[in-house]
Amino acid sequence: MGPTASGKTAFAVEWAQRLGTEIVSVDSALVYRRLDIGSAKPDAATLAVAPHRMIDIRDPHETFSAADFAAEALPHMQALSAAGKVPLLVGGTGLYFRALLDGLSDMPAADPAVRAALNAQAEVEGWAAMHARLREVDPDSAARIHPNDPQRILRALEIHRVSGRSRSDWQSAPRRSVFPFRILPVVLAPADRAVLHERIVRRFDQMLAQGFLDEMRGLMADPRLHPDLPAMRAVGYRQAWQHLAGATDFDTFRTQAIAATRQLAKRQLTWFRGSPDSRWFDPQSEKDALDCHLRRFLGRD
């Protein structure tokens, strides 16, 4: 695990080659096809030496939940294990890790009719008003969901309208207690946050040089896509859509995208701190210690 731009993928690729195994991606942006440059998706050369599972499995107009991830990732892990390989989970989407390792409460399935009605209501009243409604029926969820996060507001309101119970109530229900694998949770993060921030800036500028905005233009030309889709709200893509739609100039776009990426990294670090069993390593200064930690777990000392 690790925050965005921490260097975890490079380290994981090295270990995948050592172990002769494959990587199971735990990243909510990498699941989408055509989100390549802006998601820092591994290129063809990387995939040739370290195959990745759970990437490019949905089109960007489709949705993909943590429950979907858990249901689809576990069979990949089981297949790798059956082939005598060690499943290597790599990514920064904490909710996906939790869904896979701990299970999720059995919440009601999406209801297209209810969802359409809520979206229509939001078009009239605005998402700030919808967030206020959520605060009335599910104050715990409202406190955790930002007023500018329509996807999560919509889902929380949908759950309440379909079931008559709050999302928080569903989440408090017992989850699966036994995960069928022995795991070694490791967090890779630079000890100096300034280093992480520098890496974020450098990587984003590299994305721009590689043609990120051209990638975004191609996505915006697809009539099935709009800025409220989960894929188009991914960090970087959301800001790029606003820029190409004329809402911001280039300098503002770059500044906002970098700031949003730093905020994402901060949220990820906060999430990982809530995992008391995880060992933290600086991927540069503590690489030898990390190697030793992994070898010991694998019985390869």
Contact 264, 40 (CB under 8 A): no
CA distance 68 to 284: 34
Q: Is 8 annotated as a binding residue?
A: yes
Which secondary structure element, helix H or strand E, spans residue 52, and what is its range? Answer: strand 52-53
Q: Which residues are bridge partners to 279 per DSSP?
A: 186
Is residue 2 marked as binding? yes
* Residue 9 assigned to a binding site: yes
Residue linked to tokens 């809402």: 247
Q: Is 7 annotated as a binding residue?
A: yes
- Binding residue per annotation — 4? yes
Residues 284 and 190: beta-carbon distance below 8 Å:
yes
94 in a known ligand binding site: no
168 annotated to a ligand binding site:
no
Token code pair at residue 89: 């989970």
Q: Which amino acid is at 17?
A: Q
Q: In b/e form, how buried is each residue of 27-61, taking b as 16+ CB within 10 angstroms?
A: bbbbbbebbbbbbbbbeeebbeebebbbbbbbebb
Tell me the C-alpha distance between 219 and 213, whole Å.
Answer: 10
Alpha-carbon span 262 to 196, nearest angstrom: 9
3-state secondary structure of 279: strand
Distances (CA, A) of 171 to 18, 139, 146: 39, 14, 18
Spatial contact of 89 and 24, defined as CB atoms under 8 Å apart: yes
Binding-site residues for ATP sit at 2-9
Binding-site residues for substrate sit at 4-9
Binding-site residues sit at 2-9
